[in-house]
Structure 1
Amino acid sequence: MPVINVYLTFDGNCEDAFNYYRDVFEVEFAMINRFKDMPPQNGTKLPEGDAEKIMHVSLPISDETVLMGCDVGGEWSNDFVQGNNFSISIEADSKKDADRYFDMLSIDGEVVMPMDTTFWGSYFGMLTDQFGINWMVSFDIENSK
């Protein structure tokens, strides 16, 4: 069965976002590399402001899921557009966990749909966090018994 992981791209605030997500999920980074850690590339010089930006970070959320991300840097910065064309879906183990994830992720963000019981038997809510990332949080009430 395939494993699906989400890769997020940021314009200089990847470290802030991933420190925040680390606190939300109470896990530690598996890897964090900065652009300055990258070997020289065919004589090109790393732009001065990009050295401390995140080249790659990986945050294991569970045995099956890893949240990954990076900052754009150098010439790629010009093409960066903060997007809203995806959501990260979290299936919580309990209603309490669903509420905690939702409450923490919505800090300084925007609640799109508050947590509530839905017609499909899920406790569900949607939000956009302070970094512009869309989240769907759910707990399957029907199958929890």
Structure 2
Amino acid sequence: MTDFRVHALLPALLAQVRATGLDTSGNPVQRLTGITGPLRCCLRSAREDEDVILFGHEPVLPGSGSPYREVGAVYAHAEHCDGPDGEDYPAQWLDRPQVLRAYDARGWIHPATRTHDGSDPLGEIASILAEPDVVEIHSRNIAYGCYMFSITRA
């Protein structure tokens, strides 16, 4: 049992992207196969035989009008999926090094931001959330900087 929740991309957002074929910036969604990248809809790695989409996503930040807003590429299933099995850290990704970007209530990056080597992501998250001013964490790919999922206190 953890004291935090992991949040995949919202089903409503995914439904809109799939239905319109457009991403956050109005660019066409790219349909792909043969990808084994991290799926942000169900928080697991894609299998090569699955149809996926690649699109630009702007993660929601706490507060409003944060200067730290940004758009980055994410993968999701091309068709509806049931999402993650719960709100725990994704089991397939426990050993992946990640950036844990902490945010305060304004949506500004908090100094508790850090990287982890994949050996103890749960401990790193607990340490960041021990900082009272941190309201949310975004997990990001360490090499490309892509948004993976958000984390909040339980």
Length-normalised TM-score, structure 2: 0.30
Greater helix share, 1 or 2? 1
Length-normalised TM-score, structure 1: 0.32
Greater strand share, 1 or 2? 1
Bigger Rg, which one: 1
